[in-house]
Every structure is written in C-alpha cells, then in structure tokens.
Amino acid sequence: MTVEMTGLLLSPSEKSKYQGCFFLDQDLRIKFDIKEDGVHFQNILEDREEKVNLFNQWISNEKERKLYEEYILNYFKEIDKINDITSFEGEIIQEEKVRDQPNSPMRYSFEVKYNNLPHDVFFTFVPSWGLDMYQLQFHIPIPINSKGQINAWETMNDILEYETIQRMWEPFRDKTKYKLDLFYMLR
C-alpha cells in the first residue's frame, strides 16, 4: 500500500464516527468523514479549479484502489486498540509546572513513557480552567507515507474515549510531585 500524506489531522464529529483531513504533495487538502457506509472524501479547496482537477484525478484512482480508505480505517483501528487497553504502566519522563506570564494560569506538563505504547505521551493540565481542562498528545504508530514518516503529534482529547484517558493518567496521579494540585483532574 502506498499512501503519500504529508500531514493528517483528526477532529471529533457529531455527524460521523470520525472526521479529519489530510494533505497530499500537490497541495491538495482532502477532508474525510467515516460513516456507516465507509469513508467519504471531499476537496477542501473546491474554489480553485486546478485543485478541483487534481482532486478529481485523485478520487478516481481512490475509488478503484481504495488505498486511503483502507489506511484511514486502519489508523482508527489503532486508536480503537488503545481504547481497548485495560491498564497502563510506565514512568514519568519529565514533569514541569509553568506559568507563561505573570497573569496566565498555571500549566502542568508531563511526558510519560508507557510500556504498552511505542511513543511517549504528553499530558498538559490547566486546573484553573476546570476539572477537565487537559490536553493529551501522542503519535499513532503507523507511517503516513512511504518515507516512514509518523504523523505529527495528535491531540487525542476528543478522539480517545474519556475513560481511556482516565486509565492512562491514573497510574501517575500519585507519582507526580504536583499530585495535590492535580488530585481531581481526570477523575
């Protein structure tokens, strides 16, 4: 399978199971929605004729080969595998408490190495904004092109199940030096 993306962005959706967009070398930006009947693609730059022509060529090939559809479905299967992990173990690699400016809220950042995930995970908490103000970022471990490039850090807050994120944080809640400040986060 030869999938040649230069970037992939995921976003939550109320209308479909998952949605996002990806970029191809010809500066094509393609939106996708995963629905019951498969993956649906749309050209984001519909107003530019040259991009419409490139998209039409690309979608014609995709309808025949279904490479990108298969890839996107496999990508989300990897996410589903993470949701199926019942317990997480590992260690905190780095933790810091940061205030960017004197009036900005305190931010707590953690880099965590899990035994059952191939890449480090980054948690960021901002307790003053509310109990569920956090950001979880990591790489999904499948390359997005033939160069073996892994996608950029992906924010997984609304992509992973909330319960999964709670399970990911729970082993480290009492191990951080900021445990009192973060005691109620992701409970």
Q: In whole angstroms, give the CA distance from residue 50 to residue 73.
A: 28
Supply the pLDDT for residue 153: 85
80 pLDDT above the threshold of 60: yes
1 pLDDT above the threshold of 60: no
Confidence grade of residue 15 (pLDDT, cut at 50, 70, 90): low
Sheet holding 38-43, edge to edge: 5-11, 18-24, 28-35, 38-43
Residues contacting 77, CB < 8 A, separation 6+? none
Length, in residues, of the chain: 187
110 pLDDT above the threshold of 70: yes
Go through 141-162 and write b for each residue having 16 or more CB atoms within 10 A of its CB, e for each that does not: eeebbeeeeebeebebeebbee
Q: Which two tokens stand for residue 179?
A: 């445990």
Residues contacting 14, CB < 8 A, separation 6+? none
Tell me the CA distances in angstroms from 145 to 2, 59, 88, 105, one per residue in order: 7, 18, 29, 39
Across the chain, what does the average pLDDT equal?
A: 88
**Can you give the pTM of this predicted structure?**
0.84
Q: What percent of the chain has pLDDT over 90?
A: 50
Q: Which one-letter DSSP state was computed for residue 105?
A: P
Supply the pLDDT for residue 182: 87
